[in-house]
């Protein structure tokens, strides 16, 4: 009897080794250390912890916004090509990092981050317009899925907090990114709305096979959605002047 060959696992979309970011202010310091981190295409990742534990710092590094203090290896693999992010930082290739971010990443901020002078339609379409993508019905489809189709001509000020977060999710997905990063995406809404929005968000990224990385302080409803939790722990120096968070996964 012949056996089909085992399928090789897809290479990681992120591969980090010995990445460190240190901050200091008025005699106090914080260090985020990532000894090893591998995230594979299509994974749903959760980074759980209280404010100040380094969640946003890690997300900003994964979004190529924040340069590490030290970095042995930081590779981003997209379109079957390894992008040497550590080398791009070292050579100060900010334009290259910005181009990768625009094309391959979507970002959902805690407060939505919508532009107040653009309509709902224009906000969702923003990432596509920046990339010069043509109108192919994507915005209308996303609006229907998110329950926003009757709000497309409204402005952010006319929406509820939950509706604004759904617009932010639509904008993050509209250009079909490889990764969506979400920093406390439901922290501003009530717990019941938060669960509904997160469930819808996860359903949409799963349908599109998008890798998603979510930072949150609420593990209970994140756990129910099947996200892989990154291991992390925080410790403080004896004098309380230095805190270090170590993240791996």
Listing DSSP states for the chain in one string gives ---PPPPPPPPPSEEEEEEEEEEEETTEEEEEEEEEEEE-TT-EEEEE--TTSSHHHHHHHHTT-S--SEEEEEEEEETTEEEEHHHHHHTT-HHHHHHHHHHHEEEE-TT----TTS-HHHHHHHHHHHTT----SHHHHHHHHTT-GGGTTS-GGGS-HHHHHHHHHHHHHTT--SEEEEESTTTTS-HHHHHHHHHHHHHHHHHTT-EEEEEES-HHHHHHTTPEEPEEEEEE-TTSSEEEEEEE-
pLDDT number for residue 53: 78
User: Which residue, chain included where needed, has tokens 């290896």?
Assistant: 73
Confidence grade of residue 239 (pLDDT, cut at 50, 70, 90): confident
The pTM (predicted TM-score) of the whole model is 0.88
Flag whether pLDDT at 219 surpasses 80: no
Sheet strand arrangement including 81-84: 81-84, 70-78, 14-25, 28-39, 242-248, 231-236
Task: Say if CB 222 and CB 233 are below 8 A apart.
Answer: no
Pairwise CA distance, residues 201 & 198, whole Å: 5
Tell me which of 184 and 93 has the higher pLDDT.
Answer: 93
Domain map (residue ranges) of the chain: 14-248
pLDDT of 159: 95
CATH entry, 14-248, from 1.10.3720.10, 3.40.1710.10, 3.40.50.800, 3.40.50.300: 3.40.50.300
Taking every pair of Cα atoms in the chain, the longest distance, rounded to a whole number of angstroms, is 70
Helix H, strand E, coil C: the string for 89-128 is HHCCCHHHHHHHHHHHEEEECCCCCCCCCCCHHHHHHHHH
Q: What are the distances in angstroms from CA 228 to CA 15, 34, 83, 113, 237?
A: 16, 17, 24, 26, 29
Q: How far apart are CA 174 and CA 141, in angstroms?
A: 10
Mean pLDDT of 184-207: 85
Q: Which of 29-38, 145-154, 211-220 has the lowest mean pLDDT?
A: 211-220
pLDDT at site 242: 85
Task: Flag whether pLDDT at 227 surpasses 90.
Answer: no
- On average, the pLDDT of the chain sits at 89
- Strand pairing class (44-48; 211-216): parallel
User: Torsions phi, psi of 243, nearest 5?
Assistant: -120, 140
The pLDDT value given to residue 146: 93
| pLDDT tens sequence across 14-52 | 999 999 999 888 888 899 999 999 999 999 999 887 777
Tokens of 7: 């399928």
Write down the pLDDT at residue 217: 73
Min mean pLDDT across 34-43, 53-62, 167-176 is at: 53-62
């Amino acid at each position: 009897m012949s056996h089909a060959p085992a399928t090789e696992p897809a290479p990681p979309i992120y591969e980090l080794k010995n990445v460190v970011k240190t901050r200091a202010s008025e005699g106090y310091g914080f260090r985020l250390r990532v000894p090893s981190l591998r995230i594979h295409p299509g994974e749903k990742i959760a980074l759980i912890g209280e404010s100040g534990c380094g969640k946003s710092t890690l997300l900003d590094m994964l979004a190529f916004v924040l340069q590490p203090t030290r970095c042995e290896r930081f590779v981003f693999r997209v379109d079957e090509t390894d992008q040497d992010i550590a080398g791009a930082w070292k050579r100060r290739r900010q334009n290259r990092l910005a181009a990768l971010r625009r094309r391959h990443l979507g970002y959902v901020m805690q407060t939505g981050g919508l532009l107040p002078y653009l309509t709902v339609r224009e906000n969702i379409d923003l990432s596509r317009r920046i990339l010069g993508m043509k109108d192919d019905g994507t915005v209308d489809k996303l609006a229907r899925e998110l329950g926003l189709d009757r709000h497309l001509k409204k402005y952010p000020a006319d929406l509820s907090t939950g509706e604004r977060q759904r617009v932010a999710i639509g904008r993050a997905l509209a250009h079909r990114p490889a990764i969506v990063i979400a920093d406390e995406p439901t922290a501003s809404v009530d717990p019941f709305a938060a669960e509904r929005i997160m469930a819808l968000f996860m359903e949409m990224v799963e349908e599109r096979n998008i890798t998603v990385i979510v930072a949150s302080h609420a593990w209970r409803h994140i756990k129910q959605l099947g996200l892989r939790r990154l291991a992390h722990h925080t410790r403080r120096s004896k004098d309380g002047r230095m805190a270090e968070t170590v993240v791996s996964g």
